[in-house]
Structure 1
């Protein structure tokens, strides 16, 4: 098949990779356009230093990089290789960085890439220019190396051209022409260039630093900021005289000083992230023919590089005999969260983006996008962290995009704690309870822009009642023993939790019930008042989200969702006849979770209806008044205790808080934070989408088979799921840890003897059960209850035992009481 007419805008490493991957899958009606000459187009690919370090806290990003390494290693142009696999070495010059290298070793091992921790002598043996006195240790990835970006572009465009792909140089894109179908859908029809129109059924924007400018032509705002990054080259370094090969030493990162290094014969390239952020508007980038060297290259600002050169001479003493001969301030793309922007516009069908992708991940993204376009989904990579539709509205504001892009530039090489919130633009979103939470001295972290209490210092007196064990240093950051006291107080009496940050969607219309039946794995078309835990799946049976669906009226449902991607997924599948509407009601509403064995004693005297076990059963909902506050009460609990999620309009939220707070006082009730919530939910074995399971996992592997009702009719992913249900080879498994100081944080490798067999997803200390808890993906053979494994935690191996779940209240008597 020739496939639909596709126009790829941008012939850098991403556009070239996509053209190659699409054409290899049979789509050959493809045209690649670029405003510059080929293969040196003038974008970021044309000046990229080419260092490919695969290690990343994101499993997806590591896998995209691994595929890039594998593919580029197989490519050459006229006998010249596109990848020099010299290895990658990260060195530590401080104890904090040495500990971080152990953590990074855990990530890359968990993601299945060979890695070795080295002592100082071994580091110097690999890279003799290092000053042995400065180096405390290192991390070596033997398969890392140098990508020859321009050669990679050339090789992949040649391969694509050989299959019939057209490659058009010096074609500036002026507009994206769209039309509106009879059903009101806007679709791309053509790309308008300075050489005329190119008809298109699909347009993919791979324009890099020009991405926001091109996307605006299709009415789409991209949260992308081009920033200048300094790259300098030394003159000849005397000790390297006579080096014939371009690179013989590993690429080197000195992250303590925001520096990296690479060979170029007898010279060194030096990259620097420690200078001030230098953002550039895409609209201000020079045209191809007006730029001094190329549009993505700005003049080198020597003063900004002074500290980098001083530190380089200290780390690599041989450079003291050399000078900086040339340098550039090269433009690269940065996003608000440091991840790529992949996917289709929510408003214009057929307009896709593959943006904010560096050389490191380029071929992987090319493959991912080709699968997505040809098959309707990506089977090789979990792309939920990269989906361009993942952002809340405030995250697209120009001030936000600029500030967070600059912040991510500054933090490229920083040691980031998993709980560390952004340091600027706060607060952005506050629940109606925020004033009361501040009065209780809440310690706030951020969730989707919301200020969310992690614990309340006002609860410190509870510590006189319980001896809360302290975790190790890393887990003790952004932690307080109050977390444990709040968890235990919830189990003993009653607590209220701010659940406002939970995404809430309203689905209405005459076709709402049948629509949701087709989108979810459970039977949600039950009686009014029913609440159903269900999953949404992709076409291949992978989990796209777990949601709760409450039927609040014959044609009205409320969904407890995981974020903007759920709204996007549902919206894309709406029937075109207008029989169903979906809207986000999060900002206009709020929610308190009231949970604990005394919850009914607190709530019933306030209510105008029956909240007994008979009056409102488990997983049922109803409308009521709590004092003078109208609420929608749903009897469900993610902490494993009796209680309700109480929803009301935002303007009534503060009144609801005050009403419950006063009623809790005789029962020593408290407000509790997210730290306690996470501990309690893991004691019950409740999963969190995006952490415990993602697109790459199916319900049977994730322990969620109970949420699949194959007798409820057809739904997206059902056919694939029926094939997967008999082929389970791994499971999300509960592990317990006896040593409180061995509590881990997530993404650590799990070992069975010397072999890494899996990785941790969620972890916390279980204060009720008196053990650490870690959920991990393990092969079936390693997931037998009672088996002892080890979790790699920094330099330690922490013993952990496979345990039956749930760890708390397996009879569900507390929830159903």
Structure 2
């Protein structure tokens, strides 16, 4: 294999880590260029305080941080002083229990402490101001510039070059591929691969090649006190840090020692987006171009709260400070991936020191091996919808991400702005029914309908339970969703499925293309529907798709979002196939429940009896005067159809179906009911229950892999894959009022062995159901416990599906 020539733009913590990871894998023809001096280049790395707290609600980001800690400890570039997060309110104390659960789920050591135990770790604390704390002994301080230097030296020993004072001003293209870079001196440096690890300059580099890199450079305040007498008396003068790094998130603050002084970081000030056009002027006179002048008035509240928490600071003052620049993104995740329109140009941006080595490892695996070993869909460059790539959206949401860095964010909390960007043709009718909307992928999605509140009394009389929820699990939720789910099982309901991403794949090679790209056999007769998967080169599940063959050369593909389109377009580059995103021009109503055929049959031109229109079949026909495509599929596990039409007929379709459903007491139902019903039926949600880290059999979707058909992406890896240690299983909670929300640790006999992915209350069995990754050998009937906030619930591993295992409901 010919070794590629690789250029990395940026010699900060990401670029140096990537050079080290690439050269360790045998890619030694690597050149790292930076506009600043080596190795304190003047970017975010050079002033980073270096705090590394590993625990994160994202398993991926936790794994990145864990690898960073392990690597930097081995490089003698990490002070493992531990981390301490304190709670000054009952709400934060409860949230620290939730964070402790994440740590257990992801394998990070951590302990909840009372106030006195916290003070034993940090004697500066006023114990009367805190409820308790969460201590993580393996966290600490990355010595960022040393980490850069050591990794660069290792890479150079293997053949890499690092060159400072070389600003990249142009990405060179040739023959539709990246060909190198041009520097400010006019020199062209050739390369097969160019990686932008330029930090907050990365968005500007992306613009040069027509790529939106959705990040906002944001200023963040950091100050240092004068000498703190308690630190001097403790004999710590001259030592960088001995106490755990400290977070006081109730007031958006963090702290670390600098010998006998204390460093204070603050997120509570107003968002301060940086104007890159005036950056060099604005930072003139500062120590480096990533440091803006300190705005003292923005820090007043930070100092007040710091003295309150750490009273010895009252004897000193802020001695120096600056507003340091680093990158924020709309969702708080990093940005990784290859430019689809310019092969060979990669980005690794918006990466904090905390995750730097982990991101670099995943990038190196991606470039060299074709797929990272860690799931990176949350960080993928192409995860954003079109609206989310607009400058207004990026600025507004990235600013909000800054505000929420230390907020207690509910897992079902959706952004408050921008809203109403994408609405279905039924939106006005849904509002009339009192829909409570949440936002996902810029779509307004009904969670439940106030109109259905009247069903609660009726169903309660019939014996349906509506258990109360605690304050946390009751947020962004309504008992109406229980009524909607039960009503679907007993009557019929209409679900707005418009936000389901849809692509049309057409052309002479459309079938062959989908056969190569996906796991199941889609080369079936016209009118067939197939459930299939896309895998990566390691055999991991990249997505699940519903493919309807509407003609010999035309397919409708139900997908999960923009990442699926990106993968299809990459694979379609040399095929006679066209791929169109038809989501916005179409709409869909899911009609499901035992009375679904009674509702739809009188309106349908075609015979929709079970004998004429079987399960997993598709038909282009009419409902009333409306041309529709009907798919007999059901994610809720009930009789019914997904009924698609183009957007101009959408309002008429909704009204036609809703009016026809009145004799059958049809209702509109929301996404919470939808989720609980799909869990009853044992259906997985990609990105939550399964990702690229999971093989199909382990995720319970091995039935979607046809081993008899020809080769497909990932098949070679599946053919040699060993049995996995964990399998996705359904668990049913013993207590009728037990509720979990996802990511909680699951234990057997007191030992944590897995974690919850998603959960929902089953109105059919009157218990909560959850999916959990558990040891493969765990038998049905095994007892497990799940830690939820400050309590523990017992549950039992259940055979799947929990409801209707014989599929009788769906095949009526």
TM-score (norm 2): 0.98
CA contact (8 A) 1:230 1:273 kept: yes
| Counterpart position of 1:78 | none
Name structure 2 gaps, 5 residues minimum.
461-465
Distance between the aligned counterparts of 1:770 and 1:754, measured in 2?
26
| Counterpart position of 2:699 | 702
Give SS of 1:807's match. Answer: coil
Distance between the aligned counterparts of 1:812 and 1:2, measured in 2?
53
Does structure 1 residue 640 correspond to structure 2 residue 637? yes
Distance between the aligned counterparts of 1:606 and 1:367, measured in 2?
57
| Counterpart position of 2:646 | 649
| Counterpart position of 1:532 | 530
Does structure 1 residue 292 correspond to structure 2 residue 286? yes
CA contact (8 A) 1:287 1:295 kept: no
| Counterpart position of 2:69 | 69
Distance 1:413 1:289, change over 3 A: closer
Does structure 1 residue 749 correspond to structure 2 residue 742? no
CA contact (8 A) 1:685 1:805 kept: yes
| Superposed displacement of residue 441, structure 1 | 0.7
CA RMSD of aligned residues (A): 1.1
CA contact (8 A) 1:258 1:273 kept: yes
User: Where do residues 588-667 of structure 1 align in structure 2 (5 Å cutoff)?
Assistant: 588-667=585-664
Distance between the aligned counterparts of 2:281 and 2:190, measured in 1?
25
Give SS of 1:802's match. Answer: strand
Question: Deviation string for 1:58-85 (max 9, x for gaps)?
Answer: 000000000000001111xxxxx31100
Give SS of 2:263's match. Answer: strand
Moved more, 568-577 or 473-482: 568-577
CA contact (8 A) 2:737 2:767 kept: no
User: Where do residues 357-506 of structure 1 align in structure 2 (5 Å cutoff)?
Assistant: 357-379=351-373, 381-467=374-460, 468-506=466-504
Distance between the aligned counterparts of 2:282 and 2:25, measured in 1?
32
CA contact (8 A) 2:271 2:402 kept: yes
Choose the corresponding residue for 1:515, options 513, 516, 519: 513
Give SS of 1:700's match. Answer: helix
Distance between the aligned counterparts of 1:515 and 1:355, measured in 2?
32
Choose the corresponding residue for 2:273, options 271, 275, 279: 279
Give SS of 2:384's match. Answer: coil
| Superposed displacement of residue 741, structure 1 | 2.9
Distance between the aligned counterparts of 2:337 and 2:731, measured in 1?
36
| Counterpart position of 1:192 | 182
| Superposed displacement of residue 190, structure 1 | 1.5
Question: Deviation string for 1:734-773 (max 9, x for gaps)?
Answer: 1001323321000000011221100000101101111110
Give SS of 1:347's match. Answer: coil
Distance between the aligned counterparts of 1:348 and 1:290, measured in 2?
35
| Counterpart position of 1:35 | 35
Distance between the aligned counterparts of 1:761 and 1:287, measured in 2?
48
Distance between the aligned counterparts of 1:13 and 1:248, measured in 2?
24
CA contact (8 A) 2:387 2:393 kept: yes
Distance between the aligned counterparts of 2:560 and 2:350, measured in 1?
24
Distance between the aligned counterparts of 1:363 and 1:575, measured in 2?
32
| Superposed displacement of residue 583, structure 1 | 1.4
Give SS of 1:522's match. Answer: coil
Choose the corresponding residue for 1:796, options 791, 794, 805: 791
| Superposed displacement of residue 282, structure 1 | 3.1
Distance between the aligned counterparts of 2:221 and 2:47, measured in 1?
11
Choose the corresponding residue for 2:165, options 167, 170, 174: 170
| Superposed displacement of residue 474, structure 1 | 1.6
Distance 1:192 1:575, change over 3 A: closer
CA contact (8 A) 1:54 1:65 kept: yes
Give SS of 1:710's match. Answer: coil
CA contact (8 A) 2:14 2:197 kept: yes
Distance between the aligned counterparts of 1:716 and 1:363, measured in 2?
28
User: Where do residues 535-550 of structure 1 align in structure 2 (5 Å cutoff)?
Assistant: 535-550=533-548
| Superposed displacement of residue 465, structure 1 | 1.4
Give SS of 2:477's match. Answer: coil
Distance between the aligned counterparts of 2:281 and 2:607, measured in 1?
70
Distance between the aligned counterparts of 1:71 and 1:719, measured in 2?
31
Give SS of 1:517's match. Answer: helix
Moved more, 292-301 or 471-480: 471-480
CA contact (8 A) 1:629 1:656 kept: yes
| Superposed displacement of residue 288, structure 1 | 11
User: Where do residues 153-164 of structure 1 align in structure 2 (5 Å cutoff)?
Assistant: 153-164=148-159
| Counterpart position of 1:690 | 687
Give SS of 2:622's match. Answer: strand
User: Where do residues 251-330 of structure 1 align in structure 2 (5 Å cutoff)?
Assistant: 251-286=245-280, 290=284, 292-330=286-324
CA contact (8 A) 1:100 1:794 kept: yes
TM-score (norm 1): 0.97
Choose the corresponding residue for 1:99, options 81, 94, 100: 94
Give SS of 1:252's match. Answer: strand
| Superposed displacement of residue 17, structure 1 | 0.2
| Counterpart position of 2:674 | 677
Give SS of 2:731's match. Answer: strand
Distance between the aligned counterparts of 2:283 and 2:767, measured in 1?
65
| Superposed displacement of residue 728, structure 1 | 2.9
Distance between the aligned counterparts of 1:238 and 1:226, measured in 2?
36
Distance between the aligned counterparts of 1:670 and 1:288, measured in 2?
59
CA contact (8 A) 2:283 2:292 kept: no
| Superposed displacement of residue 255, structure 1 | 0.3
CA contact (8 A) 1:333 1:356 kept: yes
Distance between the aligned counterparts of 1:432 and 1:99, measured in 2?
41
Distance between the aligned counterparts of 1:444 and 1:10, measured in 2?
43
Distance between the aligned counterparts of 1:622 and 1:575, measured in 2?
30
| Counterpart position of 1:731 | 727
| Counterpart position of 1:50 | 50
Distance between the aligned counterparts of 2:379 and 2:50, measured in 1?
22
Give SS of 2:118's match. Answer: helix
| Superposed displacement of residue 292, structure 1 | 2.5
| Superposed displacement of residue 135, structure 1 | 1.1
CA contact (8 A) 1:226 1:280 kept: yes
Distance between the aligned counterparts of 1:324 and 1:464, measured in 2?
61
Give SS of 2:288's match. Answer: coil
Distance between the aligned counterparts of 2:219 and 2:459, measured in 1?
53
Distance between the aligned counterparts of 2:809 and 2:776, measured in 1?
31
Distance between the aligned counterparts of 1:130 and 1:221, measured in 2?
45
Distance 1:291 1:351, change over 3 A: farther
Distance between the aligned counterparts of 1:281 and 1:540, measured in 2?
42
| Counterpart position of 1:245 | 239
CA contact (8 A) 2:615 2:632 kept: yes
User: Where do residues 6-45 of structure 1 align in structure 2 (5 Å cutoff)?
Assistant: 6-45=6-45
Does structure 1 residue 774 correspond to structure 2 residue 773? no
Distance between the aligned counterparts of 2:77 and 2:724, measured in 1?
39
Does structure 1 residue 210 correspond to structure 2 residue 201? yes
